[in-house]
Amino acid sequence: MTTEKKFIALDLGAETGRCVVATLKDHKIELNEVYRFNTHAIRYEKGFHWDILHIYEEVLTGLAKARAAFGSHFDGIGVDTWGVDYVLLDPEGRIIGYPYHYRDDRTDGVMEEAFNVVRKEKIYERTGIQFAQFNTVFQLLSEKKRKSSFLTSADKMLLLPDFMNYLLSGEMKAEFTIASTTGLADPLERDWAWDLIANFQLPDRLFSEMVEPGTIIGTLLPSIAKKTGLDPDVRVIATAGHDTASAIVSVPSDGKSNWAFLSSGTWSLMGVELRKPSLTPRAMEYNFTNEGGAAGTTRLLKNITGLWPLQECRRYWSGKSVEYSYSALTDMARKEGSANAWIDLNDPRFLKPDDMPEKIQAFLGKSGQSTKPGIGYIVNVILESLAFSYRIVKKELEDITERRADRIHVVGGGTQNGLLMQLTADAVGCTVIAGPIEGAVVGNVGVQALAIGAISSVDEWRHIVADSSQLQVYEPSDGRYFDENEEAFRAVLSEGSFEED
């Protein structure tokens, strides 16, 4: 591969967004971040929403900066985002209302009500998706429950990467990896689960034509080309629109080992790549999800609250006029030593923002664990709870697949936290390979490269990633702490949710 290819990857996370230019030449990929911005959210008395048009303006700014730095021609543009959230459009393509943030409380209790319409087992059999109150299906049902006029007025529902693709190209499509997060997609047919949509009495018209990741859906609208200075023939590619699906494409596996992946960021997603979904009772019992992957694959994984509590703690402490970098927080945790106290990261109280250190201390007290003051202690509670969670999920994963994972590939921002990576290796008892950091961006570009024929397969891309990345390897050094305390941690989980004061 001697001809240089240039791509733009727009990676929108729940905290920040990035516009990255990637160049591919001589079997190497080089990333150049041209713009970083906040993915703006608005919280007020009536709800928690995404300021989607502000985010769109930031996307256009990023594209203009890419043009200024690298010229007007690119081989593709791809957008990946977090899952489940959506925008409603009227028949003329106009936005209906501010899209809701998945952390909004309008879905409280809706999931249980949905099971009265369609049995929980039936939903899992049809979709294979982990049950979480923020899944798109429960968001849509909350709209119906509130008798909102939005659903009756809407002509289309577009998940966020599909919406951005529509704004850039004028084409409305539903890319499968992001659609699979809704709880309304069929993992076998890789299409909408039309029977479930009918059972829940949701309008068919909302759901656009499904396409596979790596589909070229159009070129830039003339108006967008004019605003950004890009060539109007730049292709808009439906990459793996779910950021985790893109991140897994970036896993630098050699294809010879039994590996599992861990996408570590605001959320942690741990699982394996399969050729077909696992819709077994055991997978449902463990609440694993079957989400779409690139090249016809399925990602069997569990969604775990990730570094979100740490991010919220840092925001809380910053609000108290104490600004800490993540590296400073990690240093304080190292000096503190083992916490010997843990939280259930998936307890509902930790889903919502605000006062996170106080919520953690309250949970420890309610669950009968010792508490201590100090920032390093709180950070250790979070990191150890994550490592214990990874340990348990790995065991569940091996039980479902009947296959032992002998290494964990970690991608995403969490790879920069060396303490968390070492705790993870000690907890799971196998080699942990950390990198690339910008996993979603790298995988986004890989699917674009596959779409235009610049590479022949995902395996080829993974070799390119391995040749282009600086990877960190963590070996287990001492797992006794996790061996001795696993039952105590499981006891914390089995207590269930503790009532907040």
Catalytic site positions: 243
- Residue 131 buriedness (CB in 10 A; 0-12 / 13-18 / 19+): middle
Considering the entire predicted model, what is its pTM? 0.93
Cα–Cα dist 225/66, whole Å: 12
Can you give the pLDDT of all 501 residues of the chain as single tens digits? 568 999 999 999 988 999 999 999 999 999 999 999 999 999 998 899 999 999 999 999 999 999 999 999 999 999 999 999 999 999 999 999 999 999 999 999 999 999 999 999 999 999 999 999 999 999 999 999 987 788 999 999 999 999 999 999 999 999 999 999 999 999 999 999 999 999 999 999 999 999 999 999 999 999 999 999 999 999 999 999 999 999 999 999 987 789 999 999 999 999 999 999 999 999 999 999 999 999 999 999 999 999 999 999 999 999 887 889 999 999 999 999 999 999 999 898 998 888 999 999 999 999 999 899 999 999 999 999 999 999 999 999 999 999 999 999 999 999 999 999 999 999 999 999 999 999 999 999 999 999 999 999 999 999 999 999 999 999 999 999 999 999 999 999 976 555 544
pLDDT at position 254 is: 83
Q: What is the pLDDT of residue 255?
A: 78
**Token pair listed for 100:** 């809701």
Q: C-alpha angle with apex 83: 442 to 244, nearest 5 degrees?
A: 30
Q: Tell me the domains of the chain and their CATH numbers.
A: 5-241 (3.30.420.40), 244-304+398-480 (3.30.420.40), 308-387+484-494 (3.30.420.40)
What is the distance between the alpha carbons of residues 261 and 244, in angstroms, rounded to a whole number?
10
**Amino acid (one-letter) located at 122:** K
Which of 144, 100, 71, 455 lies closest to 294 in space, CA to CA? 455
CA dihedral 214, 219, 223, 227 (to 10 degrees): 60
The pLDDT of residue 256? 77
Q: What is the pLDDT of residue 495?
A: 66
Give the pair of three-digit tokens for residue 351: 């889903």
